Structure 1
Amino acid sequence: MHSAQEAASRPLGYAPANGIPELRRAARAILRQSRHLDTPEPDGAFYLFPRLATGDDLAAADTLLEAGCATVPGSAFGAPGHLRLSFATDLATMGKGCRLIVAALDGIPA
């Protein structure tokens, strides 16, 4: 883990070896089930930055917020058509959120 990620994770109770890689793998495994997301593996981050098949990150973020999951549109980072999804939480909460994302996005016509 990079030192900035380690420092940012400490208030959440994470240490470099206790969960970030496992959370990342579990989140990607769930998100890959959605036909609306292309979720590449990041280089050590505690967030994912999937590309949306629909390309409309603002509409997707609104849909997900209405479904109960807060995300950040990629356009806020200069990457329209993407979402920024943090998985800096416990495994159960992350799994619930990722399943909610897949279900909500799969309700959008391709």
Structure 2
Amino acid sequence: MANAGFDQPSDDGEGTGGQAQTAPPVFEPSPRDIANGVRFFAHELRGTAAYIPDIAALKAAPTRTVVGIGATSGALITYRTSMALAERLAVRPVEFPGDHGGFLGQPVEFAEVVRRVLKG
């Protein structure tokens, strides 16, 4: 999680941001949560982490390529990789509300940006 940019509490209860951390509520995963996690780590994450975009194909695509970034995801590895992709494609990234999963935390605002992007 630290490698992905998520603030993690240290042994003294302080996160990398220097503020005292409170213990998160205890989460008891359901059997379905566990099965979903197994699938994610065994199949979905592996393909995502190993993916190398075909820059030439993206540049040659008949439609524009949009690289989206979360407005508050600057500390995450996904932000850095998205910025690198945008640079290689010579496109300006589109900022979406929230973090990497802004569609979950701010769905209305996220949808507004999607609509704007689709209108082009």
Task: Normalising by structure 1, report the TM-score.
Answer: 0.29
Higher relative contact order (CA 8 A, sep 6+): 1
Structure in which a larger fraction of residues adopt strand:
1
Task: Normalising by structure 2, report the TM-score.
Answer: 0.27
In terms of Rg, which structure is larger? Answer: 2
